[in-house]
Amino acid sequence: MRGYYTADQVRAAEAPLLDKLPDGVLMRRAAYGLARVVADELCSRTGSVAHRSVTLLVGTGDNGGDALWAGALLRKRGVSVRAVLLDPARAHRSGLDALLKAGGRVAAEVGSPDLVIDGIVGISGHGGLRPDAAELVGQVEAPIVAVDLPSGVDANTGAVDGPSVTADVTVTFGALKPVHVLAAPLCGRVELVDIGLSVGEPAFGSLDPAEVGALWPVPGAEDDKYSQGVVGIVAGSEQYPGAGVLCTGAAVTATSGLVRYAGHGAAEVLARFPEVIASETFQAAGRVQAWVVGPGMGTDDDAARLLASVLATDVPVVVDADGLTLLAQRPELVAARTAPTLLTPHAGEFARFTPLGDDRIAATRALAERLGVTILLKGHTTVISDPGGEVLVNDAGGSWASTAGSGDILSGVIGALLAAGLSPLEAGAVGARAHALAANIAAAGGQSDVAGAPISASPLLGGLRESVRVLRSFALD
């Protein structure tokens, strides 16, 4: 599992090393790693390191010192290095001396370098870039390597409140921070440099592909369609039958067990997926190990009664879409549940329960604890929190899944995983990873070496089986 650590956790881990090591050693370790990544980036982009040019954007904190020391090391490899100091009187003195001694120079303009190092603000910074820094960043036309994080982006929340840097590469030290997943599009590729920190338990984590593949339910020698988990789908309506088709199809694709459908879209579901056992009513559906309720079901009184009936069962339930709209009006429906409940809101649906704010991790944790359910907050980075406060996240690696009907597919996948016995936290994280990968596969036409193209939900559903195969292959390596 990949762990993410808050700024306070990282500072606490640095403190004993700073006390133990000679002054400046920890910074020079970081600078060495930064210089190595920058040199590799120069080589991959231009074919060489020597005779290339780099501009340092230098703030007043330790990130500025990291950049200056890295500049000195790059200068010794034949790179032309200029440093633009945002506050010359407060620039890191030993780092600046090292750069000047190595032949670097101080300049007032960014120039036309091959690469820019962003050392403006570190993990203690808050808010957007100040006007002078924003003006400098606006002059940059070269690729940017950020030191620790893109300046102007909050280290703990990934929030942006004003101008900020968008990096091509971010080099971080000792531990990954929340910003590296919560604001992944602004960080670019993230490179972690080991500087000897002992950081303990992370604030939250994300499953790696091998873990996702290992958790995916696989039939054993003694399994049958019932033992692998029976999932029930209550989705779709006369107005929105497609939601039932997509949600049910996702459950069919995600499991080797059995899928039951209950709703007005039975004919449409069976026309597409004849292996489903379909009925017109929830009462006639039969026993299941988990329910999915909400996509396209409507929000009238009949839908509200149907939601209450599903939540009155003693099996895990996934609530999505219209079900969330109804539940926000009657949150007491989940208060007395003893079986697990998992809600899958996007930001707008989340706001019907409580304001979201900038800190998506804290808000998701708080709502999960208050309702006693697991919350999966959808987004480019999906956040999943159980009622006890354990959090997993998933970076989609793209936004191809931002299309109508995509959420219906996700809820169907998660429902199948719950029926197979995964915990709500695991089912949410595993389902989100498979869903995002399926969207990326569909956008690339099933190929990994071509640019993506816009997709709709049907191709996303078509990419789900290949997504599961890819993820399981990591577990088998």
Binding residues: 62-66, 118, 122-128, 148, 151, 243, 296, 346, 378-382, 407-408
CA distances from 327 to 27, 114, 138, 198 (A): 51, 54, 46, 43
Within 10 A of 472 (CB to CB), how many other CB atoms are there? Answer: 18
CA distance 182 to 360: 9
Which DSSP state fits 160? Answer: B
The full length of the chain comes to 477
Contact 277, 261 (CB under 8 A): yes
Show binding-site residues for AMP.
378-382, 407
How is residue 160 written in tokens?
A: 């942006």
Q: What angle do CA 369, 374, 378 make, to 5 degrees?
A: 115
CA distance 350 to 331: 13
CA distances from 386 to 1, 303, 335, 374, 456 (A): 17, 26, 15, 4, 30
DSSP labels, 92-111: -HHHHHHHHHHT-EE-SS--
CA distance 234 to 238: 13
Closest CA to 238 of 294, 298, 293, 281: 298
CA distances from 59 to 127, 192, 438 (A): 15, 21, 41
Closest CA to 168 of 53, 55, 38, 59: 38
CA distance 345 to 379: 9
CA distance 120 to 133: 8
Considering all CA atoms of the chain, what is the largest pairwise distance in Å, rounded to the nearest integer? 81
DSSP labels, 367-434: HHHHHTSEEEE-SSEEEEE-TT--EEEEE-SSSTT-STTHHHHHHHHHHHHHHTT--HHHHHHHHHHH
Show binding-site residues for K(+).
63, 118, 151
- Please name the helix (run of DSSP H) or strand (run of DSSP E) that holds residue 438, with its range, or none: helix 424-443
Sole residue written with tokens 């009949």: 302
DSSP labels, 47-98: S-STT-EEEEEE-SSHHHHHHHHHHHHHHTTT-EEEEEESSGGGS-HHHHHH
Sole residue written with tokens 């191709």: 459
Show binding-site residues for (6S)-NADPHX.
62-66, 122-128, 148, 243, 296, 346, 408
Terminal CA-CA length for the chain: 16
